Amino acid sequence: MQSAVDLARSRQPPKMRRRAKRRAAPWLITAAVFVSLLALLPLAFIVWIAVQTGWETVSALVFRPRVGELLVNTTLLVLLTVPIAIVLSVALAWLTERSDLPGARLWAWLCVAPLAIPAFVHSYAWITMVPGLHGLWAGVLVSVIAYFPFLYLPISAALRRLDPALEDAAAALGLGPWWVFWRVVVPQLRLAICGGSLLVGLHLLAEYGLYVFIRFDTFTTAIVDQFQSTFNGPAANMLAGVLVTCCFVLLGLEVLVRGEERYARVGSGAARHQPRTSLGHATIPSLLLLVLTTLLALGVPFVTIGRWLVAGGAEVWRLDEIGLALGQTLFLALAGALLATVAAMPMAWISIRAPGPLQRLLEGCNYIVGSLPGVVIALALVTITVRIALPLYQTLFTILVAYALMFLPRALVSLRASIAQAPVELERAASSLGRRPLNALWSTTIRLSAPGAAAGMALVALGIMNELTATQMLAPNGTRTLAMAFWSYSGEIDYASAAPYAFIMVAMSLPLTWLLYVQSKRMAGR
Amino acid sequence: MTSLEIRDLHKHYGPVAALAGVDLDVASGSRTAIVGPSGCGKTTLLRLIAGFEAPDEGRIVLDGEVLANGGTAVPAHRRGIGVVAQDGALFPHLTISDNIGFGLGRGEDKRTERIIELAYIVGLDKAILKRRPHELSGGQQQRVALARAMAMKPRLMLLDEPFSALDTGLRASMRKAVAELLEAAGITTILVTHDQAEALSFAAQVAVMREGKFSQVGTPRDLYLKPKDRMIAEFLGDAIILPASISGGFANSPLGRIAVDTNDSRDVARIMLRPEQIALKRTSREGMSGTSDMLFGEVTESEFAGSTCTIAVRLLNNADPPDAAAIGNKPLILRKSGMDAPSVGEIVRLTVSGKAHVFA
């Protein structure tokens, strides 16, 4: 699972890359390499299993009609969802950033708020409202609604940053407003669209709960099914292998489409403030689009949860049970966030203070692993622990490691941004005043990057709180997080009992989503 | 023949009046510069002429075609007016060749030939065409922006401080090159700038703008030598402003009897001299005696700055001005050639050439 902040990964300011190289402390490099190797473990395992299983079994498991069916399903889902989400997000972003739409700021926040609702809660809301909903188009509908903010965030940030002088220049060269948008604005949104599409695509590949509700089979649902029926047989592992290949195809496509181009503003001086286009007669239809989007993306979940809460009355609030789930969720979220942040620290420090080929390689490893579906990482850790270190199977340690691997990029991005703002001179001053390297680092850079680290931790915690698949597969027996409790109740069609859990998850995610919104604005503005 | 005609143009941003009644006539094929401090409304005026915004009131007419009248305006893309922005505003996602050809149709006849020709006209090397804007220097970017605007064969070219981002040396040569280029192409041009030297050297007509209005419009020479008021005088260059009484084409001032550019008679007036009208000649204290109609001073400061030298001169014998107290012992600040400048403590004789300007 990724977040919008991961988008900033490959857009490191060139200034930082050009900064004079500095030898990193060896222990820091060792730590970073160790973390990256650990991160590569799931991937290595899939390859290893494939080799061990032998080509004949592998090809028998991979080249069969069922896999083809899943491939068609998954491909169609991505090919339909991503373009619709792009068009919707560009329209919403333009309306909220560049038009005189009444209440633009409020609408901008409402366009991000759907992120606070876990995808499977979206799906739950829809299926209880329209029980017959299922299949590809249902999948496309709910996916667009659940994931379009991942595109909206970077696109609106990019729109805000565009130099209006370029649009003026195009108009002076004889282009009408629509042509200006198509030939000047859209090309400059390309980076944002590519990054956002990648995120949406990876989420589509990784999501489990959403598609189970509407009975739409993807690789992820098939892997979980397979895991539940045959535990960690080769079939599940081979499906995971195909899924990983799909992820790599998406990553590669994004690199290809994005290209090596620079869309930054050419020239010096501050960009003029952008004028907002007057909508005139189009105000009402534009407002309708936003109202409709908000109704679908926020209204449906909130109304459904509210309805079930009312229908369930006081008895669905089994406080002891809910309190336990809340406590366990918070504990896992905080512990996982802490581990991810600590693990990201050496990497973040090296990428700012001593950038070089090694750092880029390590960072690339972490990025690729971060883009793997949770189910793949969980499956790999299950296999590893069962085969090699059985005592670690379904322990707190393993689930926390899984969280750290999955959410490392989130922690990394926040940390890197804040370390970049802590001047290296302070670290040197501390060293020259007699502090040992670790102590010098602790008393300067780490202290100063604390706010960024906290933001990163919050984002990791958000991810863990709403995580379902890996938690189900790896958590110690008896663990029951909010997401798990929600899932088991709604699996028993006890929608009313599931509602309080959905409500708590949404309520706790909302402030964190705000953080994500603010941070992505800042990232894209770099 | 008048090409552009602007009448009583008004534009407000909220309570702030950016333009408060602007009138301007620009002759066909000529160059006009609009100069003023930042925030005076000159960029707003340019944006209204280009059609990026509509005026609240007033008319803009180009070659007999009404571009804006009252609240209605022809949109920018139908005006055929070229614009070169401060930093070029090149499209970062397109090559130089595509930037220049942006306004030309995709399938237009001889598109490539036209792009190469335009690049040649503005003095760009052909090899540059395949590059991207960020690979070019500031001066090259400006040339591309100019070529891009010229590709449209505009009736009018608007230059919005296009040279201000360039180095001093490059700025002067670009200015000259652009002026010649547009002259040769016969394109009417308006330059907006905050740099008075640029305005004076670029254009045949200069308009000084202040607080949303033109305070004076005229030829560069007129504006420099006969500014309407003290602010214009000081905005366009160093000025020495002195109290004087005038009669019969002469002024009695702290600098003695000076010819003025009016025949009015007034007891109290202000006259203006440009520092370059005052010449210094070395002499000594002995040389001062007995020559009451001559003016002498002592050099109190001398600051060498390479080609120029800034000298402060304290007058030693005042020719009894009407309100001598006003000037008191305030020294005259003169910028002289760095070669052979008098040093501190030397006695100099001051002579005034040309006429002083009398403020109305």
Quote ipTM for the complex: 0.75
The pLDDT value given to residue B254: 81
Helix (H, G, I), strand (E, B) or coil at A479: coil
Do the Cβ atoms of B77 and A172 come within 8 Å?
yes
Q: Are B25 and B61 in contact (CB under 8 A)?
A: no
Q: Do B92 and A188 touch (CB under 8 A)?
A: yes
Cross-strand pairs, B81: B156
A280 touches chain B (CB under 8 A): no
Query: Is the minimum CB–CB distance between A173 and chain B shorter than 8 Å?
Result: yes
- The alpha carbon of residue A269 is apart from the nearest alpha carbon of chain B, in Å, by 8
Which chain B residues touch A184 with a CB distance below 8 Å? 91
For residue B260, give the DSSP letter.
Answer: B
The secondary structure element, H or E, covering residue B357 is: strand B357-358
The residue in chain B having the minimum alpha-carbon distance to the alpha carbon of residue A266 is: B134
Which residues in B lie closer than 8 A to residue A14 (C-beta atoms)? none
SS3 letters across A172-199: HCCCCHHHHHHHHHHHHCHHHHHHHHHH
Q: Closest Cα to residue A3, out of A200, A187, A185?
A: A200
Please state, in angstroms and rounded to a whole number, the distance separating the CA atoms of residues A298 and A307: 14
B90 touches chain A (CB under 8 A): yes
At A151, which amino acid appears?
L
pLDDT at A337: 92
Asked if B353 and B330 count as a contact pair (C-beta separation under 8 A), the reply is: no
CA distance B133 to chain A (A): 7
- What does the block give as tokens for B153? 């064969």
Q: Which of A303, A70, A40 is nearest to A204 (CA)?
A: A70
Q: Does A165 touch chain B (CB under 8 A)?
A: yes
* Closest among B4, B113, B109, B108 to B51, alpha carbons compared: B4
- Tell me how close the Cα of B76 comes to any Cα of chain A, in angstroms: 5
Does A265 reach chain B within 8 Å, measured CB to CB? yes
- A388 C-beta neighbours (distance < 10 Å), count: 10
Taking the C-alpha atoms of residue A198 and residue B211, their distance in angstroms, rounded to an integer, is 51
Shortest CA distance from B43: residue in chain A: A272
- For A294-300, the CB contacts below 8 A with 24+ separation are A294/A107, A294/A110, A294/A111, A296/A145, A297/A113, A297/A114, A297/A117, A297/A122, A297/A145, A297/A146, A297/A148, A298/A110, A298/A113, A298/A114, A298/A117, A300/A122, A300/A125, A300/A126, A300/A129, A300/A145
Backbone angles phi, psi at B358, to 5 degrees: -100, 125
Q: Is A385 exposed, middle or buried (0-12, 13-18, 19+ CB in 10 A)?
A: buried
The answer to whether the beta carbons of residues B46 and B192 sit under 8 Å apart is yes
Cβ–Cβ contact A266 with B under 8 A? yes
CB B142 within 8 A of CB B166: yes
pLDDT for res A13: 41
Question: What are the tokens at A73?
Answer: 């399903």
Chosen for mutation from B67, B134, B152, B190 (greatest number of chain A CBs closer than 10 Å) is B134
Cα distances (angstroms) measured from residue A163 to each of A98, A297, A506, B5, B138 = 12, 31, 37, 30, 17
Percentage of chain B modeled with pLDDT above 70:
95
pLDDT (tens place) for every residue of chain B, 360 residues total: 678 999 999 999 888 888 999 999 999 989 999 999 888 889 899 989 998 888 999 999 999 899 999 878 888 888 889 999 888 888 888 889 989 988 887 777 788 888 998 898 888 888 899 998 888 888 888 889 999 998 888 989 999 888 887 778 788 888 888 888 888 888 999 999 988 888 999 999 999 999 899 999 999 999 999 999 889 999 998 888 888 888 888 888 888 888 888 888 888 888 999 988 888 888 887 777 666 677 888 888 888 888 888 888 888 775 554 444 445 557 888 888 878 888 888 888 888 888 899 887
Q: Name which of B11, B49, B90, B93 to mutate to probe chain A: the one with the most chain A Cβ atoms within 10 A of its Cβ.
A: B93
Instruction: Spell out the per-residue pLDDT of chain A, length 526, in tens.
Output: 444 444 434 444 444 444 444 555 677 788 888 888 888 888 888 888 888 888 888 888 888 888 889 999 999 999 999 999 999 999 999 999 888 889 888 898 899 889 889 999 999 899 888 888 888 999 999 999 999 998 898 888 888 878 888 888 898 888 888 888 998 898 888 888 888 898 899 889 888 888 988 889 988 888 888 888 877 677 888 888 888 888 888 888 887 887 665 555 554 444 556 778 888 888 899 999 999 999 999 999 999 999 988 988 888 788 888 888 899 999 999 999 999 998 888 888 888 777 778 877 887 787 777 778 888 888 888 888 888 877 878 888 889 999 998 888 888 877 887 787 777 778 777 777 777 777 777 778 777 788 778 888 888 888 898 888 888 888 888 888 999 999 898 888 888 888 999 999 999 888 888 877 776 666 544 3
Contact yes or no for A267 and B165 at CB 8 A:
yes
> Which residues of B fall within a CB distance of 8 Å from A190?
93
Decide if B80 and A174 are in contact by the 8 Å CB cutoff: yes
Asked whether the beta carbons of A195 and A5 are under 8 A apart, the reply is no
Check: CB of residue A376 under 8 Å from CB of residue A443: no
Q: Which two tokens stand for residue A435?
A: 């502090």
Q: Does A263 contact chain B (CB < 8 Å)?
A: yes
Cα(B315)–Cα(B330) distance, integer angstroms = 8
The residue count of chain B comes to 360
The gap between the terminal CA atoms of chain A, to the nearest Å, is 24
Interface touch B77/A173, C-beta < 8 Å: yes
**Which of B52, B79, B88 is the closest to A168 by Cβ?**
B52
Check if A514 contacts B (Cβ < 8 Å): no
Distance from CA of B246 to the nearest CA of A (A): 49
Residues in chain B closer than 8 A to A182 (CB atoms): none
Indicate the residue of A171, A261, A265 with minimum beta-carbon distance to B76: A171
Q: How far is CA B194 from CA A258, B34, B164, in A?
A: 41, 8, 9
Distance between CA B227 and CA A124 in Å, rounded? 78
Beta bridge partners of A444: none
Half-sphere CA count of A75, side-chain side, radius 13 A: 10
Q: Which residues in chain A have Cβ-Cβ distances shorter than 8 Å to B50?
A: 168, 172
Nearest-CA distance A450 → chain B (Å)? 36
Nearest chain B residue to A272 by CA distance is: B86
